[in-house]
Amino acid sequence: MATKLPGASISSSSHPPSTEKPSCKIKLIATRVSIQSRRISKTSCCIDSDAASAISRSQNKRPLTSINLTGCSKDGAGIRVAYQGISGAYSESAAEKAYPNCETVPCEQFDIAFQAVENWIADRAVLPVENSLGGSIHRNYDLLLRHRLHIVGEVQLSVRHCLLANHGVKLEDLARVLSHPQALAQCEHKLTSLRVVREAVDDTAGAAQFVALHKLKDTAAVASISAAKIYDLNVLAQDIQDDSDNITRFLMLAREPLIPGTDRPFKTSIVFSLDEGPGMLYKALAVFSMRDINLTKIESRPQRKRPILRPVGNSDGLNFDYLFYCDFEASMADHNAQNALKHLKEFATFLRVLGSYPMDINLI
């Protein structure tokens, strides 16, 4: 268990899975967005003066729908981008790659970043969905369905872990290392050679901040080179990950969908559900194959509100009722993609387009 550090859609005639969201109280403190749940009516949302002021400023802008990645400004200036974590997190680096010169908005949790955009505190959110070593980040797939934000782009970021400690601390002084569980797992060989105790915390940048704040002399953090600069820590070792091909894919989210084009490689993300029965998933995937559309990802997740289906045919068991998240290489401006989704809609019990957006072909 992690230690808490201080500090254009298409839908079928069937109703989609429940997307009811709890009411919330939004509080903007310094540079961090924090949302605290409380019992209030389903149709109201209580917002304090700081957040109301931020929302008022944002409402002076027009909705950020555009044919380009950054909306009003090609260099990202003037755009507020929410991400999970604190300054120095890999997610912040992804946000800055997506929107150079943007104003980043750190959020304590993934769902807070979604709500920050929905409530006009931020213009965009940049959140991770999968890592080449650790796999999918299921929490964000669930939140994509629960919230009504649209995917307007993707960012692929090369993750390069560093071992950070306070100045004067040497490798032989270390007794423990703090970091996010995935970061610790990705640096297994190096940390084993050091014979240190590994302690899991909420995020990599938070580990670096904790080590610096408490001036620890026997503890290091696994975090980014950016975190070392921000928290004035010494880099004891660079690129300590076991696999050099450690890449995280992030999605760029906005209140309004991107107008799809055909001027560059595009990707489209959808989520759908199917009736239980032999060959149903095969039929669903065939709508893309018969039109020569390349699928790049498919992820199944049990429906939270209706996880169990009744037995089919002679089956005596119970089956999960699944949602299927799918990415394919085509723009919604492409007639082939439109026809594929029309075909899928004929037998899908639920279908929603999460976004059609330019593919990221640049890795940093």
State the catalytic residues: 248, 250
Length of the chain (residues): 364
Q: For Cα atoms 246, 208, 139, give the angle at the middle one, nearest 5 degrees.
A: 55
Cα 310 to the center of its chain, rounded Å: 33
The Cα–Cα gap between 267 and 283 comes to 21
Contact 132, 247 (CB under 8 A): yes
Task: Compute the distance between CA of residue 54 and CA of residue 352 in angstroms, rounded to an integer.
Answer: 31
Helix orientation angle between 138-146 and 110-118, rounded to the nearest 10 degrees: 30
> In angstroms, rounded to a whole number, what is the distance separating the alpha carbons of residues 333 and 275?
28
Q: Which residues 6+ apart lie within 8 Å of 224 measured at CB?
A: 88, 89, 90, 93, 160, 161, 162, 204, 205
How crowded is the C-beta side of 62, counted as CA atoms within 13 Å?
A: 5
Cα-based distances in Å from 30 to 51, 58, 105: 11, 17, 10
